[in-house]
Structure 1
Amino acid sequence: MARVTVEDCVKMVNNRFELVALSAQRAKQIASGAALTLDRDNDKDAVVALREIAESTVDLEILRNESISSYSSYKMSESMAARQEEENSLADEIHETFSDMRSLRDARDDDVEEEFEDAGMSFIDMDEDVQD
């Protein structure tokens, strides 16, 4: 069982508070089943995480980013993302349907206007005749 000290890790991460955050993040990854970069040697996850940091076998920048994102206040779960995508798709479909309906209405109005013109009648735009 290899002994790891904070002094070994501080060579890689200058700030002790950041070291705690990074090692905690790595320990969580290990507990979740992430592949180890060193032999476990019967050590607990936190000790393995510290040893990995001390021996530079993990990418600290990735750990930093994952640690920051884990504390982010806004996370969209997969089900929420799927629901959001479905709602966006439905909104697009509704917009397309209304657009098609407007096109049909405009075509109908044009046809009616042509029929009136063919019959010698015309439409009077009510807005033009209205005076303030």
Structure 2
Amino acid sequence: MARVTVEDCVERVPNRFEIVLLAARRAREIAAGSMLTVDRDNDKNPVVSLREIGDGTIELGELKENLVHSLQRRVEVDEPEEDNMAALMSASNEWAGVIQENTAVETFTADEVGVTEADTPAAETNADEPSADN
């Protein structure tokens, strides 16, 4: 009887693997106490579920939805995301050593630091000016 039932199901659900998944899910629902939509006729739950799918007495879309829901490990909830871009930008600037606009910056002169002319590199020549050697 199951072979005929599978052939009936192929007309409604063309993928045999999907039939197996749907029938197994429906058989579990029947075992949990769900109401039957066809007569049992001394058949076991998997055969009854295949007969229900083949006869079209159950809603396939709802059964697929229940199957997907039962296989999900983590349910995602759509929550509005907070605008954390300003916080992220300030944190990344602080980490990178970037100075904020409103932060006071101290500058020092060479005399305040204690640099003498001997410590500075030789006089830099400008490429635009002609050299004295020419």
Residues 113-128 of structure 1: pairs in structure 2 closer than 5 A: none
Greater per-residue helix proportion: 1
Cα offset for 1:17? 0.6
Cα offset for 1:6? 1.6
Partner-residue secondary structure (3-state), 1:52: helix
Which position in structure 2 is the counterpart of 1:74? Answer: 74
For the 8 Å contact 1:2–1:41, the answer to whether it is kept is no
Cα offset for 1:5? 3.1
RMSD: 2.5
Which position in structure 1 is the counterpart of 2:114? Answer: none
Which position in structure 2 is the counterpart of 1:53? Answer: 53
Cα distance in structure 2, aligned partners of 1:2 and 1:21: 15
Higher-Rg member (1/2)? 2
Cα distance in structure 1, aligned partners of 2:36 and 2:60: 15
For the 8 Å contact 1:23–1:46, the answer to whether it is kept is yes
Cα offset for 1:3? 6.7
Partner-residue secondary structure (3-state), 2:46: helix
**TM-score normalized with structure 2 length:** 0.53
Amino acid at match of 1:66: N
For the 8 Å contact 2:8–2:54, the answer to whether it is kept is yes
Unmatched tracts of structure 1, length 5 or more:
76-131
Partner-residue secondary structure (3-state), 1:5: helix
**TM-score normalized with structure 1 length:** 0.54
1:56-101 deviations in whole A, cap 9, x for unaligned?
A: 00000000000001100126xxxxxxxxxxxxxxxxxxxxxxxxxx
- Seen in structure 2, the aligned counterparts of structure 1 residues 42 and 3 have a Cα distance that, compared at 3 Å, is farther
For the 8 Å contact 2:9–2:19, the answer to whether it is kept is yes
Which position in structure 2 is the counterpart of 1:83? Answer: none
Give the fraction of aligned pairs with identical amino acids, expressed as a percent.
54
Q: Which runs of 4+ in 1 moved over 2 A?
A: 1-5
For the 8 Å contact 1:27–1:45, the answer to whether it is kept is yes
Residue 27 of structure 2 corresponds to residue 27 of structure 1: yes
1:106-126 deviations in whole A, cap 9, x for unaligned?
A: xxxxxxxxxxxxxxxxxxxxx
Amino acid at match of 2:45: D
